Structure 1
Amino acid sequence: MTQEENTSGWNAIDQSMRELYGEQEPKHYGTALPYILGGPDPLDGISVYAVDNPMPHWHFVTYGFSELYEKEMQDASKSGYGFEITFRLTRSEAETDPPAWALNLLQNVGRYVFNSGNIFQPGDYMDANGPICLESDTLLTALSFIEDPDLPAISTPNGSVQFIQMVGITGRELEMIQSWNARGFLSASSMFMPKYVTDLMRNSYADIPSVIQAVEDGMEQDGSSTAFLFIQQLGWESPRKRLLQKSVPAKLQLGAKQAVLVGTILRSRISKGASLSLIGPDTNILFEAGEQPAILESDRQVTLTVNKQIVNELA
């Protein structure tokens, strides 16, 4: 006689979905070989619901970021990583099955979390470094994360689980988020993107006057929430003094594509007395607000104290 498997975590997610969609039977996509046994997909399953409001779309929900079976992690307050990912994608009348690329995208997000240990929270964002749907003409090349508007957090026998919705965004929208914050940008865009449904074929909201104004006002009021930027092309040359010759000033080098963004974020952060770290392959540059400009160098980090005048010159 074998003991019945404990699926209390899985059942709790199922119950939450039944409360939202009643008896609708989702399309469920499981894994043939579990990840812990060498399978390629870290998530145990993904369920997909066909939804008609506020527009026809697919509603994906993952099973696997939380503890679906026995409690294994020490933190009793949350189940596993403490969340599951959802994703809403526009659905055409002709579609009878959700697109495979969206399932693959969710599994790729799972691989990122499982391999890096980095977890997502509402308000986070992620550059996909290319179209979120490969080989498509979409402008959406990044992802942002927000609470799913229809799925509140739940308590399970293994701890709490939050449903975090993944939203496709454009590169210019990502820059707006980095210059302000994800919650503010998504709120400003919500009238054009009800329930944050991702539409691969949409134009960028970065050109809409009301969104532009909201971002500018938000930056002025709140500053930027971006405390760290990863810069692949980042270099630093120390200032040098020469006998009987003019001293050579310090030189900060970064990629041309990121220069304008760094300037915008730096101005926004320093104006609120907040710091900004640029993290590169070989060195880190930390900007701190201060009245008197200064340079402090160590083995792995250069700390630059800057005031408003210096920041404006840099920007």
Structure 2
Amino acid sequence: MTDDDDDNAAGWDAIDAALERLYPGVEPQHYGTVHKWMLGGPDPLDGISFYPRPDHWHLVSYGMSELYSKETDNPEESGWGFEFTFRIARTADENEPPLWAANFLQNLGRYVFNSGNPFGPGHHLNLNGPISTERLDTLIRAAAFDTDPELGVIDTPHGQLRFLQVVGLTLDEYAAIERWDAQKLLAAMTPDLPLLVTDLARGDLTDRPGVAAAIAEGVRRDGSSTGSLFVEEAGWRTEPGDRPGEPATTTVKVGANAADRISRVLAARLPFDRGVILQSRDSAVSFRPGDRFAVTDTGDGLVALDVPPAVLAELTDVLRPVAGTYRLASAPELVVEIVMSRIRDQEGNVVAEIG
């Protein structure tokens, strides 16, 4: 431990002990936080250690667990129950650690502390851009999480701690996760990507024969484990029929950039008797398997649609990145409105239009 902290650092010492077992006698390059979160600073991680390996850097965070004293009420877990790890490809003569990766882990930690939503094995997210702003040409634009294959789970004086590895993915790999399962896809990629090292220079792996076959078989056998999708634009409205006795019409509105994703997940969930919740900041739409089409306003901005197979087939067909209004022949009381999506950069400038 290199930070000048309280003597009571049993949680920090437990992390150090686990790393000493993996890297006996190795002194990492450690970067501590000057103005800590607990003292009103911007960074939730108190520090990040970089361990050099012949082919990659192995990063380990300090700060998602309880490093100094027990503060939460859950005796089973230390803090959020995990510390981040991250493996970044390295050349043999590379001596300067990739500090962009430390900033990335701080951003992930900031999300957890601000939202109260911890990450865990099998979680995944679209980064809406390159994982590193230093490499705008990289295909790595998404991430998934799994237990670090070498550090695993340990017990600490403050509860259990999982070393949770971040794995950078391409958008095609991310799409495969949404249709299937994050941990199963990572397992299928491991032969081509030992220890799931994030390499900003690598190409997509979904077209490798072994990975492609595993995805096809997994989707056919298992369906999708993605039960909810958060999208920038989604909403719904129900309007009464034009004439007495005419059924009401429910219009579901989605952004063009999310239409393909929604279609893929619906096709891989509902046939397996599993629903999907489509969420935006303002409202939500629940798609549920059913024998007949039905609409239920459940309150709190959520509408539930019971979708039989014939409606599902037509629904997944119209969900394409083409702006327009589509009334379903198999369910005339359902309208799908696809609106143009405007993709903005970090400064808020529109850089692309989809639809």
TM bracket (short chain): over 0.9
Measure the CA separation in 1 of the matches of 2:82 and 2:247. Answer: 55
Q: Structure 1 pair 87/251, CA: closer, same or farther in 2 (3 Å)?
A: same
Map of 2:126 onto structure 1: 127
For residue 274 of structure 1, report the CA deviation from its aligned partner: 0.8
Measure the CA separation in 2 of the matches of 1:243 and 1:58. Answer: 67
Q: SS at the partner of 1:207? A: coil
Q: SS at the partner of 2:83? A: strand
Map of 2:24 onto structure 1: 22
Measure the CA separation in 2 of the matches of 1:128 and 1:156. Answer: 32
Q: How does 1:237-256 map to 2 (within 5 A)?
A: 237-243=237-243, 249-256=249-256
For residue 83 of structure 1, report the CA deviation from its aligned partner: 0.6
Map of 1:312 onto structure 2: 313
Q: Determine if the alignment matches structure 1 residue 267 to structure 2 residue 267.
A: yes
Q: Which amino acid aligns with 1:312?
A: A
Map of 2:227 onto structure 1: 227
Measure the CA separation in 2 of the matches of 1:243 and 1:307. Answer: 26
Equivalent of 1:13, from 10, 15, 19? Answer: 15
Map of 2:80 onto structure 1: 81
For residue 249 of structure 1, report the CA deviation from its aligned partner: 4.1
Relative to structure 2, which stretch is displaced further, 30-39 or 104-113? 30-39
* Contact residue 41 and residue 111 of structure 1 kept, 8 A: yes
Map of 1:168 onto structure 2: 168
Map of 1:44 onto structure 2: 46
Equivalent of 2:36, from 34, 37, 40? Answer: 34
For residue 30 of structure 1, report the CA deviation from its aligned partner: 0.5
Q: Which amino acid aligns with 1:44?
A: D
For residue 207 of structure 1, report the CA deviation from its aligned partner: 2.5
Q: Which amino acid aligns with 2:181?
A: N
Map of 2:322 onto structure 1: none
Measure the CA separation in 2 of the matches of 1:41 and 1:6. Answer: 21
Q: Which amino acid aligns with 1:302?
A: V
Measure the CA separation in 1 of the matches of 2:15 and 2:247. Answer: 65
Q: SS at the partner of 2:30? A: strand
Q: Structure 1 pair 118/253, CA: closer, same or farther in 2 (3 Å)?
A: same
Q: Structure 1 pair 246/73, CA: closer, same or farther in 2 (3 Å)?
A: closer
Measure the CA separation in 1 of the matches of 2:193 and 2:133. Answer: 22
Measure the CA separation in 2 of the matches of 1:75 and 1:236. Answer: 39
Measure the CA separation in 1 of the matches of 2:191 and 2:204. Answer: 14
Normalised TM-score (structure 2): 0.83
* Contact residue 239 and residue 247 of structure 1 kept, 8 A: no
Q: Determine if the alignment matches structure 1 residue 215 to structure 2 residue 215.
A: yes
Normalised TM-score (structure 1): 0.94
Structure 1, residues 20-78: CA drift from partner, whole Å, max 9, x if none? 011011111101122121222111111111112xxx11000001101011111111111
Q: Structure 1 pair 282/113, CA: closer, same or farther in 2 (3 Å)?
A: closer
Q: SS at the partner of 2:272? A: coil
For residue 226 of structure 1, report the CA deviation from its aligned partner: 0.7
Q: Which runs of 5+ in 2 are unaligned?
A: 1-5, 317-355
For residue 213 of structure 1, report the CA deviation from its aligned partner: 2.3
Map of 1:290 onto structure 2: 290
* Higher-RCO chain (CA-CA 8 Å, sequence separation at least 6): 1
* Contact residue 87 and residue 167 of structure 1 kept, 8 A: yes
Q: Determine if the alignment matches structure 1 residue 302 to structure 2 residue 308.
A: no
Q: Which runs of 5+ in 1 are unaligned?
A: none
Map of 2:115 onto structure 1: 116
Aligned residues: 309
Q: How does 1:61-76 map to 2 (within 5 A)?
A: 61-76=60-75
Identity %: 42
For residue 263 of structure 1, report the CA deviation from its aligned partner: 1.3
Map of 2:352 onto structure 1: none
For residue 128 of structure 1, report the CA deviation from its aligned partner: 1.4
For residue 210 of structure 1, report the CA deviation from its aligned partner: 2.7
Q: How does 1:120-159 map to 2 (within 5 A)?
A: 120-136=119-135, 137-159=137-159
Instruction: Quote the RMSD (CA, aligned, Å).
Output: 1.7
Q: Which amino acid aligns with 1:37?
A: L
Structure 1, residues 232-255: CA drift from partner, whole Å, max 9, x if none? 221323253122898774322212
